[in-house]
Amino acid sequence: MSFRYKKIWVLFFISKLAYTFLALAVYSRFTTLGDSAAYIASSHSKVNWFINSTAIMDYTASSASFFFGDYGTHIFFCILAFYGIYTSLEKANLNKRNLYLTLVFLSLPSIGIWTSIVSKEAILCFACGIFIRFLIQVHREEPIDKLIGLTIAIYIIGIFKPQYLAVFIPILLFVKYKNTYFRSISAKIIILLSYVVTIISLAVIYNELIQQTALIVSSHFNPDAASTRDEALWKEPYDFFTKLPYGFYISFVGPTFAEATNKITHLMSFIESWIIILIGIRFYLYSFLERLKNLRLDINILLISVVIYFGFMFFHYPFGVMNPGSAIRYRAGFLPAMFIMLMYFNYHRSKKVRIS
């Protein structure tokens, strides 16, 4: 840990512990904390635990609770998420301003809560952080270390959220070969278009399965929470695509304005979502306009940013559109990785390509 930044990391770790206790002592009185209690009590089946994310959570949480107790198990998962964030940002080596901005962003309530308790989001934060560290090493052409950790990280992502690999792997391949096979601007643009077309084509092929999966996901949320929407967004066979722009928005923001006025937790989530959106707009525009002002543009960064934004939002869309609770909770699994990668690729020193 860099001595210069030791204090901010200590404060960030304390904030995560504070979110652990806030979630258990306060937030749990307004809504359920997902399946945390069930994982600790191991009420789910452990059938095929090696390839089943829920069974893995059961085994890990119940085993940890045997040694640490319920509160200690939540802290254990909090530490895992903290390590994922720390190891990726330590390798990213951001300047002080950008590091502080990143940690403030990652301290927003929904991210802080869902990655500081027993949850799949905490595990994903841990695994994605390790993968991002590896990605940065590849980008900098450094020797790859901690291969066992990397193998575990890829395994976890593949079991818990395999769709995230459809964002991480293309970025990894692009970073690895951007100066060889994808050296020309035309090749880079073709790669981007191919990625988008491939993702949409697969979604068309599996459209019915995607919609069925979305309905199943929403049915798993507690009906007493009054979050699942009575009227589905998709009514016609291809509404998944025709309503995609609004779907991107509502699956990220979570509650609509009307829903936000009916429940205090929805109102808090709605306000936080718009804070995140405004931060994202400011971040991207500032980065882009600074380069544009100097008539310089890094085409690599631009394409990577598009893949990150489009990829994560597209894969989050069907899981967050039916239920405001799922929208807020599930986005906590990818937002840390998304913001850390965007911050690194937009602010590392790189060779610029002049606009012609």
Residue 131 tokens, joined:
């993968």
Does 186 lie in the same domain as 120? Answer: no
Residues in CB range of 350: below 8 A, 6 or more apart: 298, 300, 301
141, 188: one domain: no
Predicted TM-score (pTM) of this structure: 0.88
pLDDT class of 221 with cuts at 50, 70, 90: low
Give the percent of the chain with pLDDT over 70: 86
Q: Does 175 lie in the same domain as 293?
A: yes
**Angle 87-93-97 from CA coordinates, rounded to 5°:** 115
pLDDT at 26: 85
Same domain, 38 and 142: yes
pLDDT at residue 292 is higher than 80: no
Residues 299 and 193 grouped into a single domain: yes
Given 108, 129, 160, the domain boundary residue is: 160
Do 224 and 305 reside in the same domain of the chain? yes
pLDDT exceeds cutoff 70 at 224: no
Query: Which helix (H) or strand (E) is 354 found in, with range?
Result: strand 353-354
Task: Please report which helix (H) or strand (E) contains residue 343, including its range.
Answer: helix 335-347
Number of domain units in the chain: 2
Predicted confidence band at 339 (pLDDT cuts at 50, 70, 90)?
Answer: very high
Domain co-membership, 193 together with 150: no
188 and 86 co-located in one domain: no
54 and 173 assigned to the same domain = no
Cα(294)–Cα(297) distance, integer angstroms: 8
Per-residue pLDDT band at 274 (split at 50, 70, 90): very high
- The range of the structural domain enclosing residue 90 comes to 1-160
Last residue of a domain, one of 134, 160, 186: 160
Shared domain for 351 and 238, answered yes or no, is yes
Name the band, by pLDDT with cuts 50, 70 and 90, for residue 9.
Answer: very high
| Residue where one domain finishes, among candidates 132, 160, 188 | 160
Residue whose pair of structure tokens reads 């530490």 in the numeric block: 79
- Identify whether residues 52 and 178 lie together within a single domain: no
Return the residue matching tokens 């300047």. 95
Q: Measured between alpha carbons, how far is 344 from 2 in angstroms, rounded to an integer?
A: 17
On whether both 21 and 153 belong to a single domain, the answer is yes
Average pLDDT of span 120-135: 96
Which backbone phi and psi does 297 adopt, to 5 degrees? Answer: -145, 130
